[in-house]
Structure 1
Amino acid sequence: MPVILDLNSDLGEGFGAWELGDDSALLSVVTSANVACGFHAGDPTIMRRVCAEAVGRDVSIGAQVGYRDLAGFGRRAIEMEPERLADDVLYQIAALDGIARSEGGRVRYVKPHGALYHRTVTDREQAAAVVAAVSAYDPSLPILGLPNSHLLRHAAEKGLTAVPEAFADRGYLSDGTLAKRGGTGALVTDPEVVARRCVALARTGQVTAVDGTAVTVRARSLCLHGDTPGAVALARRVRAALLDAGVRLAPFA
């Protein structure tokens, strides 16, 4: 049987007059779009534009939920009571879903962003808060996250669909977590290197960590960051390499 893989990317991350990434170009490459919901990035106009184009290209729309942190782009960890965090996540999902439905689509999955993503890998309470928000809004929505994270384990325990993802352009540590941004090997930008990594991930479920060890990363979706330098060229090269390797690209939701 051919390997089936989803390509996802964080989109709609501009705000007002400030633009970030080429959403339109990336929507021609990916099969799923993680759309910022206005808390760490994005605004109603951007959200609507991205949703409209995603619907037109038959790309699945996901709610990219994060901390209320526009100044820090959602990359600063924020201490929050689980109940308030759940409310914030619920608000973001509902806002994006309403906009998506106005354009003939709907939110089909949820993925945390930035600091919230990393926090839910190891923090049971914050992971549970995200799961509680998804369950309250629509328990049929899958949650996309890091393999072996508290987020995905808790989602599965609560009967939600937990979808593991890998990262095309991020360095891994030997324990399967991502190397901290700014550290050695945290970001991989050479399109040929990234393409080879992605084909290896699809074929073997393994990636080489920054210390040279082989790490098992079984994933149904592959994340291509929209704010990586040369993101569009990198994404196109990855897509072509996967198709050449016989990988079938299709959304998971």
Structure 2
Amino acid sequence: MAREIDLNADLGESYGAWRMGDDEAMFALITSANVACGFHAGDPLTMLGSARLAAEHGVALGAHPGYRDRAGFGRRALAVAADELAAEVLYQVGALAATARSAGVEVRYVKAHGALYHRLGADHAAATAVADALAGFDPALVVLGAPGGELERAAAVAGLRYAREAFIDRGYLADGTLVPRHEPGALVHDPGAAADRALELVETGGIAADDGARVELAPDSLCLHGDTPGSVDIARAVRSALDAAGHVVRPFA
């Protein structure tokens, strides 16, 4: 049975003379863009370009805050206190919101990046601080994240809508967490395999873990990473498969 699904990607991660991925091609294939806000990647000019691309393609713009960790691309866990973490998330969301306004669009949701994403799913104090801060900034914001963790519970208490996502280009463990990036099976590079995973997630609500166990996710959005090798080919295959199957691909926010 056909259903609605969002297709999001982590984008806007270039800065200065350093380029990450092909954002222009990706914006034409997705419906929501998680744009880096300058801490783990991105810079003001890249943020403005991303906001303009979102406006051009009718893509929902989301803030993608991370730890202050360019050297580690935001994928290293940092011991930042919960109150400071919430302030840093607000700082990043506010920067993208101001940039987006000048491009005629608005930030419609927030999705944390990398190690911060995983911490907010498991750390009650950090998740509560961030959810409360976001609700104080804009109660209409949607929070995008993993199913069933501390952030989903904190968002509900704060009165924020929460959207669940599943990863097309990442492997899962039986407990619903992602296969660590340094282990075999962490990344899905084959466009055909990614397309099959997308259809399975949309049509069944779950996916097979690395050991064959069933992981139930019930996603509102499917995620691709702009820094995955071959990301454009993967996104094109996924979008074509969803369209061919009659699913309606549109923003969740």
Question: Which bin holds the TM-score, normalised by the shorter protein?
Answer: over 0.9
How many corresponding residue pairs?
Answer: 253
Query: For the aligned residues, what is the CA RMSD?
Result: 0.9
Contact 2:135-2:159 within 8 A present in 1 as well = no
Secondary structure of the residue aligned to 1:112 is coil
Superposition pairs of residues 161-240 of structure 1, within 5 angstroms:
161-240=161-240
Give the structure 2 partner of residue 38 of structure 1: 38
Secondary structure of the residue aligned to 2:129 is helix
Secondary structure of the residue aligned to 2:83 is helix
**For each residue in 1:156-204, what CA deviation from the matched residue of structure 2 results, as whole angstroms up to 9, or x when unmatched?**
1221101000000100011111111111211111111111111011000
Superposition pairs of residues 137-148 of structure 1, within 5 angstroms:
137-148=137-148
Give the structure 1 partner of residue 116 of structure 2: 116
Offset of residue 125 of structure 1 = 1.4
Give the structure 1 partner of residue 129 of structure 2: 129
Contact 2:166-2:221 within 8 A present in 1 as well = yes
**For each residue in 1:196-239, what CA deviation from the matched residue of structure 2 results, as whole angstroms up to 9, or x when unmatched?**
11101100011010111111110000001101110000000000
Q: Distance in 1 between matches of 2:81 and 2:175?
A: 28
Secondary structure of the residue aligned to 2:177 is coil
Offset of residue 98 of structure 1 = 0.3
Q: Structure 2 length as normaliser, TM-score?
A: 0.98
Q: Distance in 1 between matches of 2:130 and 2:69?
A: 17
Offset of residue 129 of structure 1 = 2.2
Q: Distance in 1 between matches of 2:26 and 2:238?
A: 12
Secondary structure of the residue aligned to 2:46 is helix
What are structure 1's unaligned runs of at least 5 residues?
A: none
Give the structure 2 partner of residue 100 of structure 1: 100
Correspondence 1:10 to 2:2: no
Give the structure 2 partner of residue 153 of structure 1: 153
Secondary structure of the residue aligned to 1:165 is strand
Contact 2:2-2:245 within 8 A present in 1 as well = no
Q: Structure 1 length as normaliser, TM-score?
A: 0.98
Superposition pairs of residues 45-56 of structure 1, within 5 angstroms:
45-56=45-56
Offset of residue 132 of structure 1 = 2.0
Offset of residue 104 of structure 1 = 0.3
Offset of residue 122 of structure 1 = 1.0
Q: Distance in 2 between matches of 1:84 and 1:224?
A: 29
Q: Distance in 2 between matches of 1:242 and 1:74?
A: 31
Give the structure 1 partner of residue 22 of structure 2: 22
Offset of residue 2 of structure 1 = 3.0
Secondary structure of the residue aligned to 1:71 is coil
Q: Distance in 1 between matches of 2:128 and 2:78?
A: 16
**For each residue in 1:84-134, what CA deviation from the matched residue of structure 2 results, as whole angstroms up to 9, or x when unmatched?**
111100001110000000000010000000000011111111111221221
Residue 120 of structure 2 aligns with an amino acid whose one-letter code is T
Secondary structure of the residue aligned to 1:75 is coil
Secondary structure of the residue aligned to 1:80 is coil
What are structure 2's unaligned runs of at least 5 residues?
A: none
Contact 2:62-2:110 within 8 A present in 1 as well = yes
Q: Distance in 1 between matches of 2:195 and 2:248?
A: 15
Query: Percent of counterpart pairs with the same letter?
Result: 54
Q: Distance in 2 between matches of 1:190 and 1:104?
A: 36
